[in-house]
Chain A
Amino acid sequence: MKKLGSATDPLWYKDAIIYELHVRAFADSNGDGIGDFPGLLTRLDYLQDLGVTCIWLLPFYPSPLRDDGYDIANYVDVNPSYGTLNDFKAFLDAAHQRNMQVLIELVINHTSDEHPWFKAARIAPPGSPAREMYVWSQTKLLYKDAGIIFTDTETSNWTWDETAKAYYWHRFFSHQPDLNFDSPEVMEEVLKAMRFWLDMGVDALRMDAIPYLVERDGTSCENLPETHLVVKKIRAAIDAEYGNRFILAEANETPADVRPYFGDGDECHMAFHFPLMPRIYMALRQEDRRPIIDIMAETPAIPDNCQWGLFLRNHDELTLALVSEDERDYMHIAYSNDPRMRVNGGIRRRLAPLVDNNRRRIELLNSLLLSFPGTPILYYGDEVGMGDNIYLGDRNSVRTPMQWNSDRNAGFSKCDPARLYLPIIMDPIYGYQTINVEAQQSDQSSLLHWTRNMIALRKLFQVFGRGTLHFLNPANRKILAYLRDLDHGDGSHETVLCVANLSRFAQPVSLDLADHNGAEPVEMVGYVPFPIITDAPYVLTLAPYSFLWLELQPSHENPAS
């Protein structure tokens, strides 16, 4: 008997709105300056009101916190700073009661060097099962074709361990040794940890750093066939014992390289679409739809039960690993002129500062996020337009406390401000006195209200999460126009025409909609009928950075659509 998750539809992730947050950044209940689960519990109403349906929690496991929780020291417990296991269970139940699902991290590529497994592996004799849980070598020559990911801090993927008298392999920080997936023990432990959380009722798992699971000499150690076997095994275990869950792959690769992570519907259910994200910013700045069209053309079709995960920003830097040299230069000059804004080759800024805090640009980008094929993932704080602090180290610039109100510590915590895990943003433009949830809740014209309404609008139409995508090709390259269509299977179609103006000036556009001759476009936000489509080119005028969502309905005069 399979243990079902709290969602009822096996494909619920196609209609989900995911909200990414870090427990320690959201709300502090016990005044120690670090957010925790009881605090998060008190804010669930806000999230429910916002309309999100799935909460993605960054790692909250016991950890020395040298990589903000991604270096895990125990897979089946909760970091005491964030609360206890019972606190997490309470939060989970409360979320389920509000019809929200919870997505947590399964960071199986590496652990912290303070994990008991690693401590045992260090002193275990070479060749023993305990030792073989990690990847050891006497020389640094093994796997030398693999690149370094954290270029700003690491110089090699091997680090010498004095106790073990050997080098251990780590694709990320040197204090995060990689697990060895050739060892059956590792697989067993991973599945044990996974089952622990799924049994508790967690609805989804994000597989962090999934391309790097398995290493083989002479390769780049990414996306190897053996890695896919591991993923298949994990998926098989989930499918055998659990229902209505999903796994989300974090694979920062080209679309062609990500496609295998869906398998034939037997690997991950969802994967992030990393290459699309920088191209959205490029298209906006260059006022040209070409970057977006090109990358979507390169995106292969995926199995029917699989889904792309779309996002504008996340907890990491805006990665530029998958764009060309010229494009990277352009993005650096255009969006991160100050070298402090760059880390590991990417840009560590939030959405609002990237677009110069221009409300229209923010809205335009969000409209793309919500209308492109895939599940949208919102980063906490971007719904109120939070800013960043580039003077904090690593990627902490985008992980500052959530700004709830203009009280002390932005309402995040009642502690002494010096105790906060990171300082609050307090500059005149993005500071918590101006940008906070309370102020925006009472302001009907705020970005928060806008986001809430747009999310609600999107939830009314399944076509956005489940439909097909077809780009129109108008002559004006500053206009991005595309059709979303969903065949309900009973002959009826849900069709939406989305038109977005990427330019800061008003633009005319003439669309070829002859295929939909006779349909009546109805603007979705205001339910305003537009002129009926004919064989002639359909002319629209768009204000700067504006967008239109037009639902194509069969017109009353002409029932045939």
Chain B
Amino acid sequence: MATTDSVFESSSPSVRPGTELLVLLAAMTPEQREQILANLATSFPADGLVIASPDELPTDSEAPFRMIAAPASETSWTLTAADFINAYQLAEKNEARAILMLSRESGSLGPSALRDLANAVLAGSTDLAVPCYDLPPRTGLVNSAIFYPLGRALFASPVRFPLAVDLGLSLRMAERLATAAHRLTALNQAETPLWPVNEATVAGFAIGQFDVGLRTLPQPGGPDLNTILPLLTGSLFSDIEAKAAFWQRSRQLPPAEKNRPMSPASPPEAATDIAPMLQAFRLAYTNLNEIWSLVLPPNSLVGLKRLSTSDAAAFHMPEGLWARIVFDFVLAYRLRTINRGHLLGSLIPLYLAWVASHVNVTASGVDPASHIETVAAAFEADKTYLVSRWRWPDRFNP
């Protein structure tokens, strides 16, 4: 994990005036990096910036910024514990006051977005600046289905993309995240993601959410949904379990922020055929029902049975049912009802069923963003169910 200073540094004095912002870039293509550097150049004075990148640095000295090398991260499509540790160490080493972490494909972020994120943490008013992406419909569904509603219900956090890949961090936020990351690294789980929003909420730090417009999110290249979803949900559920003392109390959501502009209403694309998804769900229902019956209460099982017999046109997973399913899985994760790996593996077909239902709902004309809001509201409304079952696990329940 040792960092090596590049040759550029020797010519600069060690103490810098002005903003001290460390920008940590993920591994990316040279074109992407050029784009980002160009954006940064228009937003910030050159001398207040340090750029850290794990890639091979160009030998030309046209770049106006000080560039240092950063250790490479194995997971390139989301921020993991190792990334936070790196960020903090680099920031300390270079005496930066704030950190801006940018992931792959962040070239699509405009200069104003970068400015917003960075200035918020530099000014000290925010400890964690989270972007709110303007995504086309049917992207970032895991965030919409699981992470956002859970965060909103449990931590009263309005952050729309808890698993954001670009973040602005103040130094104390970074320190806190690095401490949390150290714990994970000690358990050999350096590649699991951290949940900065939850950490910030528990610590009482200020969180700011900023619109950053459209961005193409990096896609996980290698492993697919079946490996990644259990990893992400597992780490979120562990985080929830660890912070149980905090979210047991009811919290008020901060007053609703101004309606963010939706992406221009694109004409509904050719209706996605959800028949294959339905078939997959039915297959999962026949095979996994006995595993689900160990985790879900009778009402949910009856709801799933009804779903398995509905046809494509009528396929709709009620929001309340989805909320209960996620809550029951969180509980089963904590109680170790069945092996955790098996548990999370059996959540995947249910999530895909939700996706199919979401596709159906949006195809019928409902705005996707408002549907997500309805889902999140259902999670909030049912929080008492989670809290009561958390405190008193009992199997005689509706």
Contacts and interface: CB of A to CB of B under 8 A. Distances in A.
**Contact, chains A and B (beta carbon distance below 8 A):** yes
A333 B293 contact: yes
B394 interface: yes
B398 A329 contact: no
State the majority secondary structure of interface residues on B.
helix
Contact of A330 (B302, B395, B396): B302
A502 to B, nearest CB: 10
B398 A326 contact: no
B361 to A, nearest CB: 22
Interface residues of B, number: 14
Contacts of A287: 398
Interface string A309-346: 00000000000000000100110011001000000000
B118 to A, nearest CB: 48
A326 B299 contact: no
B306 interface: yes
Interface in B362-398: 388, 392, 394-398
A288 B301 CA distance: 18
Contacts of B305: 329
B298 interface: yes
B394 A329 contact: no
A355 B396 CA distance: 8
Interface string A212-238: 000000000000000000000000000
B264 to A, nearest CB: 42
Interface in B284-301: 293, 298-299, 301
Contacts of B397: 285, 504
A188 interface: no
A196 interface: no
B388 A330 contact: no
Given A326-B306, A505-B388, A333 B298 contact: yes
Interface residues of A, number: 16
A143 to B, nearest CB: 32
A285 B293 contact: no
Contact of A286 (B293, B299, B301, B395): B299
Interface string A275-295: 000000000011110000000
Contacts of A355: 396
Interface string A496-530: 00000000110000000000000000000000000
Contacts of A361: 396
B394 A504 contact: yes
A338 to B, nearest CB: 11
Contacts of A356: 395-396
B398 A337 contact: no
B396 A329 contact: no
Interface in A339-364: 355-356, 358, 361
Nearest to A329: B302
Nearest to B305: A329
Interface string B291-328: 00100001101100110000000000000000000000
A287 B395 CA distance: 13
A491 B182 CA distance: 80
Given A504-B394, A504-B396, A334 B306 contact: no
Given A330-B298, A330-B299, A334-B298, A285 B396 contact: yes
Given A287-B398, A326-B306, 15 more contacts: A285-B298, A285-B396, A285-B397, A286-B398, A288-B398, A329-B301, A330-B298, A333-B293, A333-B302, A356-B395, A356-B396, A358-B396, A361-B396, A504-B396, A505-B388
23 contacts: A285-B298, A285-B396, A285-B398, A286-B299, A286-B398, A287-B398, A288-B398, A326-B302, A329-B301, A329-B302, A330-B298, A330-B299, A333-B293, A333-B298, A333-B302, A334-B298, A337-B293, A356-B396, A358-B396, A361-B396, A504-B392, A504-B397, A505-B388
Of all A-B residue pairs in the complex, the 7 with the closest CB atoms, nearest first, are: A334-B298, A333-B298, A286-B398, A330-B302, A333-B301, A329-B302, A330-B298
